[in-house]
Structure 1
Amino acid sequence: MTALRRSDDLAQPIGPTWLQNAMLDFTALGGVSVLTLLTILAVGLLLAQRKWWRALFLVGAISGGALLNAGLKIGFARERPDLVAHLVKVHDLSFPSGHAMNSAVVYLTIGVLLARAEKGPRVKAYLLGGAVLLTLLVGCSRVYLGVHFPTDVLAGWTVGASWATLCWLVAEWWRQRGTRV
């Protein structure tokens, strides 16, 4: 974390001002407001397409991931790092990173859902690659901003991606049995 700060002033991040501004924007992509809005839009699309089961499944998958994150934070009760100044305000526990985990859950779950509806491998790869990129940017921004240890973010990514994968496997299992998820 200190490697991402100026050696003469640990309160100042490395890089130009635009980099800090970009990191603030990237971290917002993992915030509750953005992830909730994106989830509502995705569920709304599925409802407009009359894909009731997929909409319900998406709500359950994302809500379950958020509840898992909250439970893990309480269970581990790890305090935020104090090695460097925080560049954003934070009010809860550190491990695992909620931004990293919830971004993985939302972006990867929606990415897989969209990719499943596509036939071409390039479009599928683009959708999944975009979901992974968004997830990585959010997590990296949390370390850059000084509000998470790298291990918090790695744990968030790991658990979030595992949850999204589990949800995908359940959806595939149901699909093979004739349920339209």
Structure 2
Amino acid sequence: MSCAALAFCFVRIADEMVEGETRAFDERILLALRDPADLKRPIGPAWLETAMVDLTGLGGVPTLTLITALVVIYLLVARRFGNAALVALSISGGAILTSVLKIGFARPRPEVVDHLVAVQSLSFPSGHAMASAVVYLTLGALLARTERRRAVRGYIFAVAGFLTLLIGVTRVFLGVHYPTDVLAGWTLGAAWALLCWLVARWLRPRDNETEQPA
């Protein structure tokens, strides 16, 4: 799927959300994930809630910032300056875009169910969903470029995609995002990551020229 197609999906989701067409769908999903007798309790065993709280941290600012910093430092040490700049700019740019969109749409957090983790920012699009897509898919694309075997590249992309999807699901399960918040974050984050991957391909010969033997 191209950047344009993913961006179009985001625009359609945003348009439907602004018009209120997604509210019934969003609330139905949120309520389906709670005990009908007590909306403060999610469905499933107690350990599932604990696991979701832990896993959602994989898309949090501290975790993604640490991962990004470590990768950028590695690329600088390896003298892959183009890729280092690409990672830093793409991920910081994605974070800025998310913040701007949240302020622009100003969608409040869900109120139909209790939040199982503390949140402070606005709801649309999901910052966790978008940031995880940007970070994990961008890094997955850069890592996959170093592999010649198709099976290994496929595994790398599968892991990046799985982490992105998992983090988005945790946000809905924990009641802090509507499903359409997450869908919007996924589509726009994937579009941004794909754009960065295309730039990385363009930079490849230039980046190789900067590499020097130790």
Band the TM-score falls in, shorter-chain normalisation: over 0.9
Look up the SS of the partner of 1:29 in the other structure: helix
Look up the SS of the partner of 1:10 in the other structure: strand
Bigger relative CO (Cα 8 Å, ≥ 6 apart): 2
Any idea what the Cα deviations from partners look like across 1:64-102, whole Å, max 9, x if unmatched?
Answer: 111110111011010001010000000010000000000
Look up the SS of the partner of 1:93 in the other structure: coil
Paired position in structure 2 for 1:135: 164
Unaligned runs of 5+ in 2: 1-29, 209-214
Paired position in structure 1 for 2:189: 160
Distance 2:78 2:150 in 1: 23
Paired position in structure 1 for 2:89: 60
Conserved 8 A contact 2:117-2:176: yes
Q: Which amino acid aligns with 1:47?
A: L
Paired position in structure 2 for 1:170: 199
Q: Which amino acid aligns with 1:150?
A: P
Paired position in structure 1 for 2:61: 32
Paired position in structure 2 for 1:104: 133
Distance 1:167 1:25 in 2: 29
1:18 to 47, 50, 60: 47
Unaligned runs of 5+ in 1: none
Paired position in structure 2 for 1:93: 122
Paired position in structure 1 for 2:13: none
Q: Does 1:179 align with 2:206?
A: yes
Paired position in structure 2 for 1:124: 153
Any idea what the Cα deviations from partners look like across 1:17-48, whole Å, max 9, x if unmatched?
Answer: 11111111111000000000110111122122
Offset at residue 173 of structure 1 (A): 2.9
Count of matched residue positions in the alignment of Structure 1 and Structure 2 = 179
